[in-house]
């Protein structure tokens, strides 16, 4: 997460608060002052994905809510024989919470096992 153009007060408060936040979480939060350079953001975000007002090439409005989350829909079980979960729009297979719980935790897998799961998911729909 990037917080851009944060006022000095925010940065000062974060300097105190971050000592109470887990180190792993601290590394996920980047506070960037108004003097940031575009290259700082491009280390983490592709230029075509970075908003135009931040120096990128993405012309979409933030309110457009563009992203991979828009490809899925919630199946709430309101219709007869519905399985509760989520599915890609236009597909019939529903991913249930039980299926997600059975997936391995990638943080706890060996590199070989991670590679195996990545290959499995990449080839799953072929």
The reported pTM is 0.45
Closest by alpha carbon to 38, among 27, 49, 28, 29? 49
* Mean pLDDT of all residues in 88-110: 75
CB within 8 A of 90, min separation 6: which ones? none
SS3 state of residue 48: coil
Quote the percentage of the chain above a pLDDT of 70: 85
Q: Which helix (H) or strand (E) holds 111?
A: helix 111-123
- Whether residue 17 lies inside any domain: the answer is no
Quick check: 4 and 32 in contact, CB under 8 A?
yes
Task: Estimate to the nearest angstrom the gap between the alpha carbon of 45 and the chain centroid.
Answer: 12
pLDDT of residue 108: 66
Higher-pLDDT residue of 107 and 119 is 119
Range from 28-37, 38-47, 76-85 carrying the lowest mean pLDDT? 28-37
Residue 12 resides in a domain: no
Across the chain, what does the average pLDDT equal?
A: 81
pLDDT at 27 over 70: yes
pLDDT 10s digits, 42-84: 888 888 888 888 888 988 887 877 777 788 888 888 888 878 8
Number of structural domains the chain divides into = 1
Position 78 in a domain: yes
Domain around 119: 68-123
What does the alpha-carbon distance between residue 121 and residue 114 come to, in Å, rounded to a whole number?
A: 11
25, part of any domain: no
- Contacts of 90-95 spanning 24+ positions with Cβ under 8 A: none
| Whole-angstrom distance, CA of residue 96 vs CA of residue 20 | 35
In a domain, 104, yes or no: yes
102, part of any domain: yes
């Amino acid at each position: 997460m990037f917080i851009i153009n944060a006022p000095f007060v925010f940065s000062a408060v974060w300097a105190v608060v971050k000592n109470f936040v887990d180190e792993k979480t601290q590394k996920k939060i980047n506070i960037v002052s108004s003097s940031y350079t575009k290259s700082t953001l491009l280390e983490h975000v592709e230029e075509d994905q970075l908003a135009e007002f931040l120096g990128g090439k993405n012309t979409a409005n933030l309110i457009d809510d563009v992203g991979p989350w828009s490809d899925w829909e919630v199946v709430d079980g309101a219709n007869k024989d519905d399985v509760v979960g989520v599915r890609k729009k236009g597909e019939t297979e529903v991913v249930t919470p039980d299926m997600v719980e059975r997936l391995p935790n990638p943080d706890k897998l060996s590199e070989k096992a991670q590679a195996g799961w990545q290959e499995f998911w990449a080839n799953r729909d072929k």
